[in-house]
Amino acid sequence: MSQAGKAHQNRPLPSHSTQSRLQQHADMALDSLRRLRQAPLSSLMTISVIGIALLLPTTLIIAMSGLARLSDSIADSSQISVYLNPDVSTEVAMNLRAELLMNEAIADITLITADQALAEFREYSGLGNVLDALDQNPLPAVLVAVPASTDPEQAAQLLQQLQNLPDVASAQLDLLWVQRLNSISTTVQRAVWALGLVLAMAVLFVVGNTIRLAIESRRAEILVVKLVGGTNSFVARPFLYTGFWYGLGGGLLSWLALMLLLAFLSGPIGQLMTLYDLPTGLQLPGLPVALLLVGGSALLGWLGALLSVLQHLVAIEPR
């Protein structure tokens, strides 16, 4: 008995060379792909569902990052308008400017004298006639300060400091709406990520369910493979590849749809930007985003298949 057992162990083992292993994986991957092509309609439907589910959060995330860039560039150009008292002379104003230029919190400061302000107002407002009716210039001199830091809190501090200067009537930080925009975009960004998470889970379940059906339809084959000594991982492999292909297809589809959508929107967005005098045009997401989307989708597909396989495949045992 034991002798027989020993003699038995001496039988030559197959050569598990890396090459033949890779060959086998390639064969299985291609076989899974071939099976998807055999049922083109249902495969395409699964891929479309994945593509659409991923398109929504991807579009929103790209829109959000565009918006964030926009608000950054606006925050960069934020400035404090310091209105001087009407009785302050141009000379005093110029001295004050020179003095403030030494302040480290201020990057740059320009003086708009009362006369300049009046000229500007006359030119741009179209209310020149009204001004003519006045016997004196109602506009004060203004110092326009650009804060050295874009940090809203430091800007607010600087504002406080400038407001307390003796010759200053009032100072105004043109930052409040930027802050509002910032906090809105933070909120929306979180909502978008949460939505993305939910839709990623939807992709997992869609792939998982599709794989469950595939497992069910190949039940007889799985039983035979297990009977002749196939391990769980051997049986699982083609399904994992199937999930991978679904994810890859869905990712590519959503990338394609995203490009079409952006091409469709680029005209109106460009116009909008021009109207608001904003420099940032529509920036097309590049290769890293594409790789992230397609790779992430393929990973999701694989993971969905894995979940399904762990749940359903292991339960199929020959009886």
> Which residues of the shown chain bind other proteins in the complex (CB under 8 A)?
1-5, 7-8, 11, 14-17, 19-21, 23-24, 220-221, 223-232, 234, 317-319
Q: Which is nearer to other proteins, 31 or 115 (CB)?
A: 31
Half-sphere exposure of 291 (CA within 13 A, CB side): 3
* DSSP H or E stretch at residue 148: none
Q: Which residues contact 31 (CB under 8 A, 6 or more apart)?
A: 238, 241
Q: Which is nearer to other proteins, 12 or 288 (CB)?
A: 12
CB of 311 to other proteins, least distance (A): 17
Using CA atoms, how far residue 214 sits from 49, 242, 303, in Å, is: 17, 9, 16
Q: Which is nearer to other proteins, 25 or 190 (CB)?
A: 25
CB of 14 to other proteins, least distance (A): 5
* DSSP H or E stretch at residue 110: strand 106-112
- Listing DSSP states for 170-188 in one string gives EEEETTHHHHHHHHHHHHH
CB of 28 to other proteins, least distance (A): 9
CB of 232 to other proteins, least distance (A): 8
CB of 45 to other proteins, least distance (A): 22
Q: Which is nearer to other proteins, 275 or 315 (CB)?
A: 315
Q: Which is nearer to other proteins, 8 or 286 (CB)?
A: 8
CB of 286 to other proteins, least distance (A): 41
Measured over the CA atoms of residue 218, residue 224, residue 227 and residue 231, the dihedral's sign is negative
Q: Which is nearer to other proteins, 16 or 134 (CB)?
A: 16
Q: Which residues contact 185 (CB under 8 A, 6 or more apart)?
A: 64, 67, 68, 71
The encoded tokens of residue 87 equal 């009785």
